[in-house]
Amino acid sequence: MPNESRDVFYSKAVNEALDEELAHDPDVVLLGEDIGVYGGAFGVTRGLFEKYGPKRLQETPISENSFVGMAVGAAMMGLKPVVEIMFMDFIALALDQILNSAGKLHYMYNGQVTVPLVVRTPGGAKGGYGPSHSQMLSGLFVGVPGIKVVAPSDARQVKGLLKSAIRDPNPVIFIENKRLYPQRGVVPEGEYLLPLDRAVVTPGENVTVVAYSAMVPVCLALKEALAPRGISLEVVDLVSLQPLDRETIFASVRKTGRVVIVEEACVTGGVGAEVSALVAEHCLDVLEAPIRRVGAADVPIPSAIELEKAVLPSADGVLRAVRDVLEW
């Protein structure tokens, strides 16, 4: 029944992708902390241990750099490891193996090896986890060649993209989001794969709003809210943060002449900054207003929910930026 669809949680969609890929390919193995009986810190792997057993789901000690490094070694040998890093902040512990091994091996060994590795990790803040458990660290991977970075924004995307990421011969940092896990989305029945390198456009006329991960539903809601007022936003969901789907971004900016870039990461030096630079380089001739960026303030994410809210980008902040570029 390929045309049927149903509402599932984002976290469940991840689970379904893992389940299907474990069934599809005996070389797929899961690696991470508490992913077994416990089902992962966010319940994403729930039920898989019972179904596939300890050989396919290898629970690890708290040793991020080495279990990512082991996954790299196993990937060089032909396995397809899918690693879970419990909170995106913890990816700092594994950066050496991601930057110096996973991202470089295929190139520096002149194509003798591939590293079909997926590192799944939830980024973003959700209700007071505090400075070491809340950051969206997508910016860490900007300018790290050899790594693909994908940040799905809804349940349908996350399932189709994770399956593609697992089948991709390159290392993929797969950014999930704690705020998206409990959001429901329409997911098709049956197998489907989505391309890792394509941005998704929800068409509009007046302003291009570039976003990714949990800021996409925020921007789509704003699009709905502004429509009755005659303001038409074109939302470009980046999906792939590296490489960026430049042509789709440029086509949208060329159409609207105005752009607001929205992300949950700090404003400085990240994906949004890169998009901004690219638009300035390639679309300056069509811009009718300065590029505006909306993101987290350049501070660590504080614990108190009120303070956290003050630091994170909001729908109001996006709205102000949209008004700015329209009224320029």
Partner 1 sequence: MLACLRAESLTLEQLAACFRRMLLIREFEEVLGGLFTKNLLGGTSHFCIGQEACSVGVVGAARETDWLVSNHRGHGHLLARGLDPFRVMSELMGRETGYCGGRGGSQHMCAMDLCFLGTNGITGGGIPIGTGAAWALKYRELDDIAIVFFGDGASNQGTFHESLNMASLWKLPVLFVCENNGYGMSNPTAQSVATAKVADRAAAYSMPGTTVDGMDVVTVLEATAAMAERVRAGEGPALLELMTYRFCGHSKNDPRVYRTREEERDWGERDCLAVTARMLAERGLDDTAVQALRDTVVAEMEDVVERALAAPVGDRDHALGGVYA
Residue 6 C-beta: closest distance to partner 1, Å: 34
Identity of the residue, 3 or 110, whose beta carbon is nearer to partner 1 in the bound complex:
110
- Give min distance, CB of 204 to partner 1, in A: 32
Distance CA 315, CA 328 (A): 20
Select the span of 67-75, 212-220, 269-277, 288-296 touching partner 1 (CB under 8 A).
Answer: 67-75
Nearer residue to partner 1 within complex by CB, 60 or 153 = 60
> What distance in Å separates the CA atoms of residue 58 and residue 161, rounded to the nearest whole number?
23
Give the residue with the Cβ less far from partner 1, 26 or 203. 26
Give the H or E element holding residue 81: strand 80-84
CA angle 75, 192, 7 (to 5 degrees): 115
Does residue 53 belong to the site contacting partner 1 (CB under 8 A)?
Answer: no
Q: How far is CA 14 from CA 55, 89, 116, 135, 181, in A?
A: 20, 20, 18, 21, 9
Q: Which of 17, 74, 209, 267 binds partner 1 (CB under 8 A)?
A: 74
Closer CB to partner 1, 104 or 184, in the complex: 104
Do 36 and 90 meet the contact criterion of CB atoms below 8 Å apart?
no
Per CB under 8 A, the segment of 70-78, 184-192, 268-276, 311-319 that binds partner 1 is 70-78
Interface region with partner 1, contact rule CB under 8 A, candidates 145-153, 154-162, 186-194, 270-278: 145-153
Our finding on whether 52 is near partner 1 (CB under 8 A) is no
**Is 50 an active-site residue?**
no
Q: What is the CA radius of gyration of the chain?
A: 19
Q: Which of 133, 234, 263, 264 is the catalytic position?
A: 133
Residue in this structure with the two tokens 């469940």, named with its chain if needed? 12
Q: Is 300 helix (H, G, I), strand (E, B) or coil?
A: coil
Candidate ranges 57-65, 118-126, 260-268, 317-325; the one touching partner 1 (CB under 8 A): 57-65
Work out whether 118 is an interface residue with partner 1 (CB under 8 A): no
Angstrom distances, CA of residue 100 to CA of 40, 70, 80, 107, 145: 27, 13, 19, 11, 10
DSSP state of 166: H
- Which of 53, 127, 145, 182 contacts partner 1 by CB under 8 A? 145
Cβ-based nearer residue to partner 1, 114 or 206: 114
Q: What DSSP letter does each residue of 108-143 carry, written as one string?
A: HTTTS-----EEEEEES--SS--TTS----GGGGTT
Q: Does residue 169 touch partner 1 according to CB under 8 A? A: yes
Q: Are 34 and 48 in contact (CB under 8 A)?
A: no
Which of the residues 33, 64, 234, 263 is marked catalytic? Answer: 64
**Any contact of residue 38 with partner 1 (CB under 8 A)?**
no
Choose between 81 and 160: whose C-beta lies nearer to partner 1: 81
What 8-state DSSP symbol labels residue 98? I
Residues known to be catalytic? 64, 133
Q: Which residues sit at the interface with partner 1, rule CB under 8 A?
A: 29, 55, 58, 60-61, 63, 65-79, 96-97, 100-101, 104-114, 145-146, 148, 169-170
